[in-house]
Amino acid sequence: MNDVVFIFDPELSAYQLADSHPFKPIRLDLTRSLLRETGLLTDDQETRPDPFDERKLSRLHHKAYIRAVKATSKGKSHPDAFGYGLGTGDNPIFPGMHDISTKICAATVTAVDQVASGKARRAANFAGGLHHALSNRASGFCIYNDLALGIDHAIQEYGLRVAYLDIDAHHGDGVQWLFYDSAFVMTISLHESGRYLFPGTGHTYEVGKGPGRGLSVNMPLEPFTEDDSFEEVFELVVPKALEAFRPDLIVLQAGADMHRYDPLADLALSLQAMKASYQRVCELADHLCEGKLVVTGGGGYDPYRTVPRAWAHLWACLNDHAVPEALPESWRQEWQERIPEALPSNSLDDLNSWQAVPRRDEIASHNRVVAERLMSTLVQIWQEDRS
C-alpha cells in the first residue's frame, strides 16, 4: 500500500481554455516542480491515470451534451453549442477539449479508486476539481464534472457513502445538483455568498431533497472574510456535518481562490488559514473514515504566487510533512524567466504587510450568525429523519 498517491500525466496540463483565459494550467507544473524541489514528492508516489471508459460520462452527463463537446472539440460547428455553454467567454472551445477533459475525469476517478480499493490511504489530482460542470452544460471553466464522476465511482463500485467538502471561493454547484437527492452523498460548501459571486447559488436554504434532504450543507461567506472568521465557521459547520453523516470517504475540492490575492473572488484568507483547513480535513478523515481522503484542485487565479504554495501545503499535509519556510532558489530560477511575475521566496504569507480589512468584526459576526442558523436548521432535519 502506497500511503499517499499523486496522480500525474503531462497531458493534464493541456487544459488550456485560451491563452488569455484566467484558468492557467501552468499552475499544475509549478506545483509539481515545487514539490519535487522540496523533496515532498517522490517517484514512487506518482501514478498515471487508469484507462477510462467514456461510457461512464453518460451516467451523469447527457449524451447529447457529450456529442456536442466531441463535435466542437474537432472544430465542427454545432447548432446548440452556445446553449450547452460552449463557446462562451467562460468556456471557449479549444482543440482536444473532449479528450483532455476526459483525461482529467480519468485522473480523479483513479484517485478515488486508489483510496476506495485500499491501495492508498490518500490521493491527489490537482488537475481536477471542475465542480461547476452540470449534467447538460459547461459552466465556470468546467466541461465535465470529474468530481461527480469520481464520487459516483465510489458509490457504484464500492458502495461507499461520500462526503464532498468544497472550500473553493465559488459554490460547488455542479456537484451539489448532481447529488441533490442522493442519500449516499453529503455536499458541504464554504464559499463567498452567491449574492455577490458566480454561480449565484449555495444559499443556506439549499438543503437537498427527497432521500438527500439535509445532506446539502451551504455556508455562504461575506466578501472579505478573513482567517479567524473562516476558521470559526469551518469549526461550527464542517465537523458537525461530517459527524452526522459518518462518511466512508471524504473528497475535498481545494480551490485556492479564497486567498486574498485572487483576482476573481473577494475572500481574504492567507496561506496560513488555508494550510490550517487542510490539516483539519486530514484530522477529520483520520477520525471518521480511517484517513480515506481524495483531494483535487479547482479554482485559483493567482497562478504563480498563490496556487503552487497552497497546493504544496495541501500535499505536505496529506503526507504529514511541512513545506520549508524558505522555498528552493532552484525552483524560482527554473521558472522565473517563463512567467510574468516574481515568484515568492517564502512558503507562507507575510501577514505583517497586510492592511486590516474594514468592517472585520461586522463580517465575522454576520458569518457566525449564518453558521449558527444553518446548523440549527440542519440539526432539526437530522433529528426528524432519525425519529
Determine the 3-state secondary structure of 355 from DSSP.
Answer: coil
132 is catalytic: yes
Question: CATH number of the domain that 271 lies in?
Answer: 3.40.800.20
What's the full length of the chain, in residues?
387
The domain of 221 spans 4-386
pLDDT (tens place) for every residue of the chain, 387 residues total: 579 999 999 999 999 999 999 999 999 999 999 999 999 999 999 999 999 999 999 999 999 999 999 999 999 999 999 999 999 999 999 999 999 999 999 999 999 999 999 999 999 999 999 999 999 999 999 999 999 999 999 999 999 999 999 999 999 999 999 999 999 999 999 999 999 999 999 999 999 999 999 999 999 999 999 999 999 999 999 999 999 999 999 999 999 999 999 999 999 999 999 999 999 999 999 999 999 999 999 999 999 999 999 999 999 999 999 999 999 999 999 999 999 999 999 999 999 999 989 999 999 999 999 999 999 999 999 998 766
Calpha distance 355→102 (Å, rounded): 43
* Total of domains in the chain: 1
| Centroid of chain to Cα 93 | 23
Out of 61, 98, 132, 259, pick the active-site residue: 132
- Structure-block grid coordinates of residue 189: 460548501
d(CA 326, CA 342): 15
Decide if 286 contacts 122 (C-beta within 8 A): no
In which element (H, E) is residue 6 found? strand 4-7
Complete DSSP assignment for 197-251: STT----TT----GGGTT-EEEEEE-TT--HHHHHHHHHHHHHHHHHHH--SEEE
